[in-house]
Amino acid sequence: MKSLHVVQHTVSENLGAMEDQFRRRGVGFQYQKPLTAGKVPTSAVNSDGLILLGGGAWGTHGERTTLPSLDQELRFAYDHLKRNRPVVGLGLGAQIVCIAAGGRTAQTGTRVHTGIARRVRDDALGGHMPESFPFVSFMRDDAVLPTDSEILAVDDDGAPVVFTVGPDVICMTCHPGTGPLMLRSLAAEVKASEDELATELAFVDQYFPEMTTALDSMMHGIAEATGWIVEDQGDTG
């Protein structure tokens, strides 16, 4: 059975709907919580892969807003890349992977961004990425991609939503497992009222079924790219 490290930066943002996707496919995972435990592992020797989650108001720029464990996580991510272990970065996690892979980030404020992403390659995630899919991104700062990255999906402004840095390193500026409850919890953490995020919350409420369908499809592509999932446990005789 595969076993993954999942780095979690805030209690509100976890794997979400991705947890069930992994469990029913027989993939184990262990949450690492550097902001409460004070550290993350430093070596990928015994790791089958790494998932770096988002962090709400935490970012990679700014004296007061830079993730306190950023240096440790960069070393952990880099060790996975060096050893050719699969990595998935979501939101803030995508920024961390981007830096570890030779890119950088640009400072922006915390924001919630929703929209319909558009696939730019027919073979994105092995052909499992829908032509379009709704997304929600909750993060501070932006990833500036390494030169050897490949963009798989963009938003209405042409900004990357999904990109890769090698065949088994997948980054999303959104979190495809986000649901209405997670978004409301993240908003509460940064003291944003439901009135302030009424449009974004209404978007997730409306499109959550489509987001779930898109996640199910994309998980097949992530599974193939990373080698984490051999077959759906529910599909075995």
Residue written as tokens 């929600």?
136
Position 237 pLDDT exceeds 50: no
Q: pLDDT averaged over the chain?
A: 92
Convert the pLDDT of each residue in 166-213 to its tens digit: 999 999 999 999 999 999 999 998 888 888 999 999 999 999 999 999
In which band, very low, low, confident or very high, does the pLDDT at 230 lie, cut at 50, 70 and 90? Answer: low
Supply the CATH classification number for the domain 3-230.
3.40.50.880
For residues 214 and 95, give the distance between their C-alpha atoms in angstroms, rounded to a whole number: 23
Position 236 pLDDT exceeds 50: no
Closest to 86 measured CA to CA, from 172, 175, 164, 178: 164
6, amino acid identity: V
Q: Which residues contact 52 (CB under 8 A, 6 or more apart)?
A: 7, 73, 77, 87, 88, 89, 90, 92, 93, 94, 96, 97
The full set of domain ranges for the chain reads 3-230
Convert the pLDDT of each residue in 9-30 to its tens digit: 998 999 999 999 898 888 999 9
Convert the pLDDT of each residue in 91-146 to its tens digit: 999 999 999 999 999 999 999 999 999 999 999 999 999 999 999 999 999 999 99
Task: Indicate the pTM of the whole model.
Answer: 0.93
- Give the pLDDT score at 39: 86
